[in-house]
Amino acid sequence: MARVAIVTDTTHYLPRELVHRHGLHEVSLYVHWDGRHEREADLADFDEFYEHLRTSPTLPTTSQPSVGDFLAVYEPLLAEGNDILSIHLAGGISGTVSSAEQAAGELGGRGLGDRIHVFDSRSACGGMGLIALAAAAAAEGGASLPEALQRARTAAEESRIWFAIETLEYLRRGGRIGAAQAWMGSALKIKPILTVDGEISPIERVRTSGRAFERMVEYLESRKEDGATRWALQHIQATERIERIAERGRELFGTEPEFCSEIGPVIGTHVGPGLIGVAGIRPALLGPPE
C-alpha cells in the first residue's frame, strides 16, 4: 500500500517544528504589499508586515497559489510513489482549494486521479492545522488514502477555531466579511467573536476586550467538556494576551497547548492585528502525545 503524503497550504500557521516533524508538504499563498509580491512561505518575520498594515492607507492584497504551484508539489510526491491528501483553506474565503482541484484534475487526465484527493477543510488557520495534523497522524499510522481522508473529515466535523478580533474593518475592506456583514451597521463599538465554517461566520459580539478574552477561555472550557482536550492557540501581534490565555489553558487542561503561533500576512490582512484564537480537538484524532 502506498504511503499517504499530506499536502496543505501556508494558512495553517503551524510552528515549523510541527510541520517538519509530521512531514507536511506546503503550497504557499501570496501577499502583495508595499510594492512587493511575496510568497507567504518566504516571510519568516511578520512584524514589518503588520506595522505596514497598521499604518498604510492601502490594504495589502493576497492571492491563491496557481495550478502550477500545486503541480510542483504534487508531481514529485507521486513520482516517489505516494498517494496524496491535499487539505486546504475554506473554499468560501479563498480560491486555493479550487486551484488544487484543477491541478488534481490535470493529473487525473494522466491516469493519476485515484492517487490524489483534495479536501476543503471549511476552516482556516489553527482549525485547518489541527485537521492536517489529524490526517498526518493517520498517515503515520499506515492509513490508506481513504482512511486518512476519513480522519480529516471527522476532524473537520468536530473541530472549530473561535477567534476574537479588534474590529470588523479589515474584513470589510478585504471583502471577506461573510455572514458577519450583518454586524456592520451596529452603532456599538463591539469586539466580534467569529469562527470559520466554510466562510467567516459570527458567533457573538461583546463590548470589551476583557469580555472577549473570557469568552475565549469559556470556549476552551466547553471544548474540554466535549472531550476535545488537545488544545491550540493563535494570535496576531497579541503576545501578552495569548500568554494569559495559555496560562488559563494550562490550569484547565493540565497540559501545554499543541501549539501557540502567530497568524501570518495572508489571513492577517483580512482580520488585522489584535486577534486571539483558540481551538480544541479530541486526543484520538491526533494520536498519542509526543
SS3 of residue 259 by DSSP? coil
Confidence of residue 175 (pLDDT cuts 50, 70, 90): low
**pLDDT value for 181:** 52
**pLDDT value for 288:** 62
Question: Looking at the 3D structure of the chain, how many domains does it have?
Answer: 2
3 state SS for 34-73: CCEEEEHHHCCCCHHHHHHHHHCCCCCEEECCCHHHHHHH
Q: What CATH number is associated with residue 192?
A: 3.30.1180.10
**pLDDT value for 176:** 52
175 — alpha (psi -120 to 50), left (phi > 0) or beta?
left
Task: Among 54-63, 120-129, 237-246, name the one with the lowest average pLDDT.
Answer: 54-63
Inform me whether the pLDDT recorded for 108 exceeds 50: yes
Q: Is residue 137 part of a domain?
A: yes
User: Looking at the structure, do residues 101 and 165 belong to the same domain, yes or no?
Assistant: no
Say what the pTM is: 0.93
Confidence of residue 289 (pLDDT cuts 50, 70, 90): low
User: Looking at the structure, do residues 83 and 148 belong to the same domain, yes or no?
Assistant: yes
Show the domain range for 197: 161-286
184 near 177, Cβ under 8 Å? yes
Q: Write the pLDDT tens digit of every residue in 231-284.
A: 999 999 999 999 999 999 999 999 999 999 999 999 999 999 999 999 999 999
Confidence of residue 187 (pLDDT cuts 50, 70, 90): very low
User: Looking at the structure, do residues 265 and 146 belong to the same domain, yes or no?
Assistant: no
Inform me whether the pLDDT recorded for 180 exceeds 70: no
User: Looking at the structure, do residues 171 and 267 belong to the same domain, yes or no?
Assistant: yes
The last residue of one of the domains, among 157, 172, 205, is 157
Q: What sign results for the dihedral spanned by CA atoms 192, 231, 90, 238?
A: positive
Q: What CATH number is associated with residue 19?
A: 3.40.50.10440
**pLDDT value for 229:** 96
Alpha helices in the chain (DSSP H): 16-21, 47-55, 67-79, 96-108, 125-140, 145-158, 169-174, 209-225, 239-253, 265-271, 283-286
Q: Write the pLDDT tens digit of every residue in 198-235.
A: 988 888 888 888 999 999 999 999 999 999 999 999 99
